[in-house]
Amino acid sequence: MAADPDLAQEFFQVKRHGDIAVITPSPQVENLPETLIQTAAQMVLAPLKEDPPTHMIVDLSGVRYFGSAFITFLLRCHILVKKQGSELVLAGVNARIRELLRTTALDTLWALYDSSQEAVEALGGSD
């Protein structure tokens, strides 16, 4: 599949708050096939590899649930920031996703925040 730059922008929004990158997946990621999630994720992460953030927040406030393909995306984000000595945190995590993270023990890997703003403040950034 050819890389479509609009694909990443359609399903993921990336904003920088100083050295903090906030990635906000759209609710449509819930229904994307694994191949499209991976393609979009690679395109989202490419500029962040060139200019790595100090911290990365994935704002899940618009997402009700996700599967293994999205977990793979989160792990790729985690590896990217860990290589820089930074951390990945999750924001806007609902009860269903919290249970999935607890079941997979990923809730021990990432800090969970109620909102993106709370996460930005906790990581020392500002809007």
Domains detected in the chain: 5-122 (3.30.750.24)
In terms of Cβ atoms closer than 10 Å to its own Cβ (0-12, 13-18, 19+), residue 8 is buried
Higher pLDDT, 17 or 109: 109
Q: Which pLDDT value is given to residue 6? A: 67
Beta-bridge mates of residue 56: 21, 88
**pLDDT for 64-118, tens place per residue?**
998 888 998 899 889 888 988 888 999 999 999 999 999 999 999 999 999 999 9
E strands, the chain, are 12-17, 20-25, 55-59, 87-91, 111-113
Give Cα separations from 44 to 41, 93, 95, 114 (angstroms): 5, 20, 26, 23
Q: Which residue has the tokens 């930074």?
A: 86
Look up residue 92 and give its DSSP letter: S
